[in-house]
Amino acid sequence: MINLEIPKKFGALINQAHQAAAEIFRPNSRKYDRAEHTYPKELDIFAALLDGVNASGEGGGGASGVRRDSTKATGIRNGANMSTVLGTIELCWGDVGFLLSMPRQGLGNAAIASVANEEQLARFGKLWASMAITEPDCGSDSAAITTTAVKDGDHYVINGEKIFVTAGERSDAVVVWATLDKSLGRAAIKSFVVEKGTPGMAVVRLENKLGIRSSDTAVIRFTDCHVPAENLLGNPEISQGFAGVMQTFDNTRPLVAAMAVGLAHAALEETEKLLAEAGVKVDYDKPANNQHAAAAAFLALEADWESANLLTLKAAWMADNSKPNSLEASQAKAKAGRVATEITLRCVELCGSLGYTENALLEKWARDAKILDIFEGTQQIQQLIVARRLLGKSSGELK
């Protein structure tokens, strides 16, 4: 039975994450929004503290992925998935770009945690890993990847170009999706850990972006890049290909949903404060139609936020309890990504000039929110996945 009340054991974690967001992330948020591509040095101390928390077994402070562990005792569990989601929500109440800039907490780390074997986890677990999937001619359809990995003795030779790689310049390694044989389609797609400094790998450009400007976004090119065969994550057999690679998303999509939930909560909180200062009080004891129009609109936004929050917690809970959560991960990502975009834009409208200028962070949050509806699978792709799961259709049957 699912109980989505916040477990008491995570109280300290949530308080610590919120304190970091309030004292480190948010006070420096505008500074690094204006200084795009500049690494937030304030994160170094916090990242070191987070490493200590994760090493102690508490986990949950950043965006790192987690593993399902079927060896644990039976019974209802709230484990690393739930703690990571809760920590992510609090940190993104401070700033999403800062979370994406945290050393050793990249989305590539979630990929490693999802599909690496124990030996690979020991080798790569301490790296800061970014994720490289999207290509110039391949966006939402991951199965259309053209970057190749050709076996050459005890190495794979990777050729191709990846775009929109979050933390691509700053990270220690990149998890690269590549195909072993284009003629075999998605079944031949594998993920490889390519460490920085590997000959043939080059960061060729940094993107200027609408939002999350404190996080660098890179274009990376691979030219005859030789990667050790043991850096192929998971099972090297083609028959065990795309399904294992896609398992990564079951862990990362709830994390992106959590980012959206945290950001939207920040916007709602700020908007309620500004409305109160303008004399508009949100009354939870009155029907919405008996209140100021702005208060009624706010209540509708809050209800939408609550549904996104609960879907996100459900997806994390299912992963902690070794239940397949592909459907729930996509539902959470679709709902939270859309809600964050809609809430932040509506909050800008409700607050008028205060929402549109740099006097408040609302305009920045509106810009930051859009990416959360795009990366890790767009809104449209999530809806397609949900439809396939509910209707029992394959990707070939429902496109």
Closest CA to 114 of 191, 229, 13, 166: 191
Cα gap 116→289, rounded to integer Å: 53
For the record, the structure tokens of 376 come out as 């890790």
Cα gap 377→195, rounded to integer Å: 25
Beta strands in the chain (DSSP E): 129-132, 148-152, 155-166, 173-179, 189-195, 201-206, 217-228
Q: Who contacts 45 (Cβ-Cβ below 8 Å, separation ≥6)?
A: none
Helix axes 242-277, 326-350, angle to 10 degrees: 30
Given the residues 90, 135, 363, 376, the one annotated as active site: 376
For the record, the structure tokens of 29 come out as 């948020």
Q: Who contacts 356 (Cβ-Cβ below 8 Å, separation ≥6)?
A: 348, 362, 363
Cβ proximity of 166 and 107 under 8 Å: yes
Cβ proximity of 99 and 165 under 8 Å: no
Cβ proximity of 44 and 104 under 8 Å: no
Cα gap 210→369, rounded to integer Å: 10
For the record, the structure tokens of 315 come out as 């997806």
Task: Name the DSSP class of 36.
Answer: T
Cα gap 96→210, rounded to integer Å: 13
Cα gap 296→290, rounded to integer Å: 8
Residue 223, SS3? strand
Cα 282 to Cα 165, 279, 341, 360: the distances in Å are: 41, 10, 22, 20
* DSSP output for 128-154: -EEEE--BTTBSS-GGG---EEEEETT
Q: Tell me, yes or no, if 230 is annotated catalytic.
A: no
Active centre residues (catalytic):
376
